[in-house]
C-alpha cells in the first residue's frame, strides 16, 4: 500500500490509499475555494447529559447530485471535484461541511447550559473512484485497502488533541438519508464519548463488578454457545443477530480476540475482515432481493475512558422491513427510545444464513 497526503484548495487534508503499482497522485486542487469558517457550536443537554452539534452551515451541503456533478468522483477537464486526481483507489478527506472541526477551545457555562466550539474532525472515505456500485460490489483486495484506511485514520485521529472517540461508519441508501450516491463512508472524531457507548460501558462496568468478567466477551460466548442467531464464523470473526435486536435486519460482527479499535487488528484479522464483511453485505442485499439500505456502525473504545473494557465491533442494521416497506421510528422509538421489533431475531439470522452465497 502507498499513502500520499495532499492539501485541497481551502486547506483541508486529503489522503490517498493506493495499491502498490498505482500511479503517483500529484495533481493540485485548482478550485477557488474560500478558507473554512469557524467551527459549529456544541451544546450540552443538561437533562440527558448529552452533547448536540449545532452546525447550521450543513444546510447548504450537496444533495443527491447527478452522476456528472458528483463531487466524490475523480476530477476531469473542466470539472474539478473534491479529489484533484483523475483516478484513485481509496481516498479520505476532511468533510467540506463538518459537524466537528478544529482544535479544543474554551467551554462557556450559562446557568445549566454549557457550550463550546464543536472541535474534532469529520472525514469522508471514498471506497472507489467508480460512481455506480456499492461496498458489497468491491473486490476483496479493494475492501482490504478500505480496512487499512479505516485503521490508519483511527490511529491518527485517536492521537488528535481533544478527540475522545472515533466513529467509522457508512450510510447506504436514500431510505437512510444518504445525500450522495457515490460509494462512500464517513469518520467522526468526537470531542466526547457518545451516548450509545457510554450506556454500553456502564453495563460493562456493572457486569465486571458483579462477575469479574468482560460483558462483551460473555455476550459473544453466549451467542456462540446458543448458535441460533449466529450468521457466520471465520478464523478471526463471528457474526450474529443480537438476542434483543431492534431492527428488521440487524447483525453484529465481532473479532474473536477483543481489541479496542480497528487500528489494533493484526494483518491476519484485517485480511479476514475484508472477506467476512463483504459476505455480510452481500447477504444483506439478498435478504429481500433488493439493494439493502443500511447503517454500518463500527463501535470502538473511547480514547481515554474505560478503554481496556471496550470492544471493537460492527453493528449493521436496516430500516427495511420488507421488499417494499420501511420501519419508521414513531412515538415509542423516537420519543421514548423504547423499540418494538416486528421480526424475531432468530428468523433474521435464519434468513441471513439461508442467503449465504447468493
What residues are annotated to the active site?
184
For the chain, the straight-line distance linking the first and the last C-alpha, in angstroms and rounded, comes to 31
What SS3 class is residue 27? coil
Picking from 250, 321, 317, 316, the residue whose alpha carbon sits closest to that of residue 290 is 321
**In sequence order, what E strands does 152-200 have?**
165-172, 184-190
CA pair distance 281, 136, nearest whole angstrom? 5
Picking from 34, 133, 132, 27, the residue whose alpha carbon sits closest to that of residue 80 is 27
Q: Please name the residue that has the C-alpha cell 422491513.
A: 321
The shares of helix, strand and coil residues in the chain, as percent rounded to the nearest 5, are 30, 25, 45
CA pair distance 143, 273, nearest whole angstrom? 9
**In this structure, are residues 183 and 90 in contact, taking their beta carbons and an 8 Å threshold?**
no
Amino acid at each position: 500500500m502507498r499513502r500520499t497526503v495532499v492539501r485541497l484548495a481551502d486547506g483541508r487534508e486529503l489522503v490517498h490509499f493506493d495499491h502498490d503499482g498505482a500511479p503517483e497522485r500529484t495533481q493540485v486542487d485548482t478550485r477557488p475555494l474560500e478558507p473554512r469558517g469557524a467551527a459549529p457550536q456544541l451544546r450540552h443537554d443538561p437533562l440527558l447529559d448529552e452533547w448536540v452539534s449545532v452546525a447550521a452551515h450543513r444546510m447548504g451541503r450537496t444533495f443527491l447530485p447527478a452522476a456528472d456533478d458528483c463531487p466524490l468522483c475523480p476530477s476531469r477537464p473542466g470539472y474539478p471535484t473534491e479529489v484533484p486526481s483523475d483516478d484513485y483507489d481509496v481516498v479520505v478527506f476532511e468533510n467540506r461541511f463538518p459537524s466537528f472541526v478544529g482544535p479544543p477551545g474554551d467551554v462557556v457555562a450559562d446557568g445549566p447550559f454549557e457550550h463550546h466550539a464543536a472541535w474534532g474532525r469529520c472525514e469522508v472515505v471514498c471506497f472507489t473512484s467508480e460512481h455506480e456500485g456499492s461496498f458489497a460490489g468491491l473486490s476483496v483486495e479493494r475492501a482490504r485497502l478500505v480496512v487499512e484506511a479505516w485503521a490508519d485514520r483511527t490511529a491518527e485521529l485517536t492521537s488528535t488533541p481533544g478527540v475522545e472517540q472515533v466513529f467509522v461508519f457508512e450510510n447506504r441508501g436514500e431510505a437512510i438519508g444518504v445525500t450522495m450516491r457515490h460509494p462512500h463512508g464517513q469518520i467522526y472524531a468526537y470531542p466526547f464519548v457518545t451516548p450509545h457507548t457510554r450506556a454500553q460501558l456502564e453495563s460493562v462496568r456493572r457486569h465486571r463488578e458483579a462477575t469479574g468478567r468482560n460483558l462483551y466477551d460473555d455476550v459473544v460466548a453466549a451467542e456462540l454457545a446458543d448458535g441460533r442467531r449466529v450468521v457466520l464464523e471465520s478464523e478471526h470473526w463471528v457474526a450474529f443477530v443480537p438476542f434483543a435486536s431492534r431492527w428488521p435486519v440487524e447483525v453484529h460482527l465481532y473479532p474473536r480476540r477483543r481489541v479496542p479499535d480497528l487500528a489494533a487488528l493484526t494483518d491476519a484479522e484485517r485480511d479476514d475482515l475484508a472477506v467476512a464483511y463483504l459476505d455480510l453485505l452481500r447477504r444483506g442485499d439478498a435478504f429481500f432481493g433488493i439493494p439493502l439500505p443500511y447503517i454500518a456502525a463500527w463501535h470502538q473504545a473511547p480514547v481515554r475512558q474505560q478503554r481496556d473494557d471496550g470492544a471493537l465491533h460492527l453493528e449493521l442494521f436496516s430500516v427495511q422491513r420488507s421488499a417494499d416497506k420501511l420501519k419508521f421510528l414513531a412515538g415509542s422509538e423516537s420519543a421514548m427510545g423504547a423499540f418494538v421489533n416486528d421480526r424475531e431475531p432468530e428468523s433474521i439470522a435464519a434468513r441471513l444464513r439461508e442467503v449465504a452465497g447468493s
